[in-house]
Structures are given as structure tokens and as C-alpha cells.
Chains A and B, each alone.
Chain A
Amino acid sequence: MRLVFWLSALTVAYVYAGYPVLLAIWARLRPRPAPRAAAAGGALPTISIVIAARNEAARLPARIANLLALDYPAERRQIIVVSDGSTDDTMAVLARYGRQVDAVAVVAAGKAAALNTGIAHATGEILIFADARQMFAPDALKELVAPFADPAIGGVTGTLLLDCEASEVAGRRAGTERRRAADDRRGRGDRGRDRRTVDRDRRRRLESTIGDGVGLYWRYEKQLRRLESAVGSTIGATGAIYALRRALYRPLPADTILDDVLTPMRAVLAGYRVVVSEHAFAFDRAAVDSDAERRRKVRTLAGNVLILGQEPRLLVPFVNPVWLQYVSHKVARLVVPYALLGLFAGSVALASQHVSYTIALLAQCAFYLLGGYGAWLDCRSASAAPGPAADAAQPLAANGVVNA
């Protein structure tokens, strides 16, 4: 039982503390920075933005307006929206944009098949993957393609900013000047009203218990990705905003759940780097209830399991150039729940033998009680919530608060 206890404890400690520390040391000793600016004198690459959508007629106008307004030459940009068996007005909405948007309708076969179809229509050198819900910052595309100036870079993931962390990043990104400019454009009267709306909306989300926890987890996850990128390649991309050289794209298996992990990992297996652009922002809201977050995590973890069957090379050292990172980041996360069980069972069995095991047991009990209290807070905030609000990312982004 001691072996179970210590193996479990070491697994949990390595996954959540040891691995980040290892990466931080590695990044300090042997950093591999990616270029932030495009090569001097080089033209911007042609890009194809691909969105798979099903029944997104309500969201697409704002999304397409966002894409059309981005700072990127229109003649070097293609927008492709694939309607994956939509039964609403998705195609009618897309038809309004004429030649500005390539609308493709396919029978419902899932996101992976829709992406395959969309990319078959792509002509750009760089593919940009996006979703219907999230919005991009005005300079996101330029920031996203800049690292491709290095021919060793095959993919770039942007940074997804959740509403619950927006103010932090807004401040960190020295957005005062942009905010001021946006405010000047809107005028003083509108500004006050907009700010009040944004503040109210943001507070509503900040009060979401799960949103707060997810925000913290997401910051941790992004830091891991930055460190992985700094030492070579990040493990997976952010589905809402990532880019890939079109030449590296291979059609996804129909049952793919995580295209944003499989696609970049295939580029890594082909010998390219996949890096993080910390300045290419997309905006989204954190899950507003624990059930939504649980569904999202189930999907993610199920996708991680499926990928092991789709690309078993990922588990082979020396074939996968980022094997250590992949196993430490993705595979180990699948193991942690069982390590937690082993740790708890070991603590119970050994508690009477030594005070250190007793302390370990008490600490775990305290932690799970705390989790129970968190569940109660979540129920309370869910019942007190005034109802689902409009998409938070839109007002925040539109008002220049998170873009700043």
C-alpha cells in the first residue's frame, strides 16, 4: 500500500507541479523563441479562415462582421464557413455576404468532416481555424501569421481570453492607449453607458463559481502552453484560434473530437514546431455552470483518449519529438483521477501507521470538504443568477475593454 500511496502522490505532484517547474527550468536554460514580426520586406501570407458551423444563424452575422473588420488585407484573406447540416437559416445568412464568404453546405457529419470539406476549398497558404462563437482581436490575424516567417514553424496557436480574466490581460497588454482611442471614437455619453453594461455583465460572470475556477485553470493551462512553446512545441492548440500551414493539413478522421490537438500534433510529428502567439487574442466566456464545464471536460478527455488510437506514434519516444511533454501534459491528466483514488485509499490504509499518512489523509479530507463547499457555492450562485446573459465576449470585445 505504501507503493500505491507514494506512486500516486508522485504522479499528482509531478503532473501539477513538477512538470511546470521542469518546463520553466528548461525554458530558461534552452529557450527557442519564435519570431513575433513577419520577415522584413515579406508580404503577408494568404490565409483561409475556416469555420464549421451547425445552426449558427444567430451568431454568424456578428462573427463574420468581426472577421471582415480585422486588420488584414482583404485580397489575401478567404473566409470559408461550412454549414454542417444546419436546419436553421445559416445558409441564408451566409448568402448575404456574397463573394466575401465562401459558404459550403454539407450533410451533417460532424465537425471533423466539415473542416475537411472547408479546407478542400481553401486556397490560402495558411489555414486559420476558428469557431462561430468567439471573436478575434483586430490584430489577431497578423499576430497569428507572424511566426510563420520561420520555416520551421508549422502551426501557431493564439491565446483565448476568457471574460473572467479579461481585465487582467487588458491591463497587462498596455491597452490604455487603445481603450482611450476607442473611447474617443464612441464619445463620452456612450462610453459611460457601455461601461456600465460591460461591468454588469462581467460581474455576473465573475460570480460564477465554476467560471472562477475555470479561469484559474485556464491561466495555468496557458502558462504550460507558453513554456512548452518556449522549449519547442506546444501540445495542442486553442480551437478558437489557431493556424497551420495548409501543406501540413491531413484530413481528420470522422470521429475526431479534438481537431485542435490532432492537427497540430501531426505537424509536430512531421518535424515542425507549433508555437504560441501570446498576442493573437480570441475572446470567449467561461462556462457559467458546472454542468456545462463538466460536459466540455468530458468531451476534451474523451478526445484525448481517441487521439491515442488515431495517432499511436504520439506515444513512441524518438518518433514524437515532444514525447515527454505529450505524456506529461495530456496522458498524465488521464491518469490523475486514479492516482487521486490511490492516494486516498493509501492514506486511509496507512493512517494508523505513521503520522505523515494521517496528515495526508486529513489534508485530502479537508480538500474534498472544501470542494463540497465549492459545489454549494456553485449551486447558490446558479440559483441566484438572473438568467443567461448575452454572450459576454461580444460586448466586452465590442466595447474595447478586452481588446485593449
Chain B
Amino acid sequence: MRSPSRAPLVDRLARVAFTFVIMNCSAVAGLVSALMRRKVWR
């Protein structure tokens, strides 16, 4: 069984890059949600 700590470096970097992109896309979506007062929590 392979864990990320043993995964190739490129895979680990890819995971970080993907998370970074997700976070920044979410920041834009979060701003839109807040401005439109869209319900995002309960």
C-alpha cells in the first residue's frame, strides 16, 4: 500500500498544486456567495 509520503515527488507536488487551485477558485466562489447572500451554512 502506497502512502503519499512514499509517492513520487511529482505526485505530491501535483496534489499541492491542485489544492492551491481549489482554494483560490473557492475564494472567488466565496466572495460571490457572500455578495449574493447565498446560503452557504445551514
Q: Do A and B come from one complex?
A: yes
CB within 8 Å of B: which residues of A? 54, 84, 108, 110-111, 203, 206-207, 209-210, 212-214, 216-217, 255, 257, 290, 293-295, 297-306, 333-334, 336-337, 340, 367-368, 370-375, 377-378
Contact of A334 among B4, B12, B27 (CB under 8 A): B27
Q: How far is the CB of A128 from chain B (nearest CB, A)?
A: 21
Give the dominant DSSP class at A's interface.
helix
CA distance A297 to B30 in the complex (A): 7
Q: How far is the CB of A141 from chain B (nearest CB, A)?
A: 27
- Supposing A207-B4, A212-B12, A298-B26 touch, asked if A110 and B42 sit within 8 A by C-beta, the answer is yes
- Supposing A212-B15, A257-B41 touch, asked if A294 and B10 sit within 8 A by C-beta, the answer is no
User: Are A206 and B4 neighbours in the complex by a CB distance under 8 Å?
Assistant: yes
User: Are A111 and B22 neighbours in the complex by a CB distance under 8 Å?
Assistant: no
- Give how many B residues have a beta carbon under 8 Å from the other chain's beta carbons: 35
Among A110, A295, A300, A301, find the residue whose CB has the most chain B CB atoms closer than 10 A.
A301
User: Are B28 and A337 neighbours in the complex by a CB distance under 8 Å?
Assistant: yes
Q: How far is the CB of B9 from chain A (nearest CB, A)?
A: 11
The 7 A-B residue pairs with the shortest CB-CB distance, nearest first, are: A301-B30, A374-B18, A213-B19, A297-B26, A305-B34, A374-B14, A371-B17
CA distance A305 to B26 in the complex (A): 13
Within 8 A of A (CB), among B1-42: 1-5, 10-31, 33-35, 37-38, 40-42
User: Are A302 and B14 neighbours in the complex by a CB distance under 8 Å?
Assistant: no
User: Are B22 and A210 neighbours in the complex by a CB distance under 8 Å?
Assistant: yes
Q: How far is the CB of A85 from chain B (nearest CB, A)?
A: 9
Contact of B35 among A212, A298, A299, A305 (CB under 8 A): A305
CB within 8 Å of A: which residues of B? 1-5, 10-31, 33-35, 37-38, 40-42
Q: Which residues of A contact B33 (CB under 8 A)?
A: 298, 302
- Supposing A210-B22, A368-B21 touch, asked if A374 and B16 sit within 8 A by C-beta, the answer is yes
Q: Which residues of B contact A378 (CB under 8 A)?
A: 15, 18
Name 23 A/B residue pairs within 8 A (Cβ), A-sorted.
Answer: A84-B42, A110-B41, A111-B41, A206-B5, A213-B15, A216-B16, A255-B37, A293-B22, A294-B22, A295-B40, A297-B23, A298-B26, A298-B33, A298-B40, A300-B30, A301-B31, A334-B27, A337-B24, A367-B17, A370-B17, A373-B17, A374-B17, A377-B15
User: Are B41 and A299 neighbours in the complex by a CB distance under 8 Å?
Assistant: yes
Which partner residue on chain A sits nearest B18 by CB separation?
A374
User: Are A374 and B19 neighbours in the complex by a CB distance under 8 Å?
Assistant: yes
User: Are A214 and B19 neighbours in the complex by a CB distance under 8 Å?
Assistant: yes
Which partner residue on chain A sits nearest B14 by CB separation?
A374
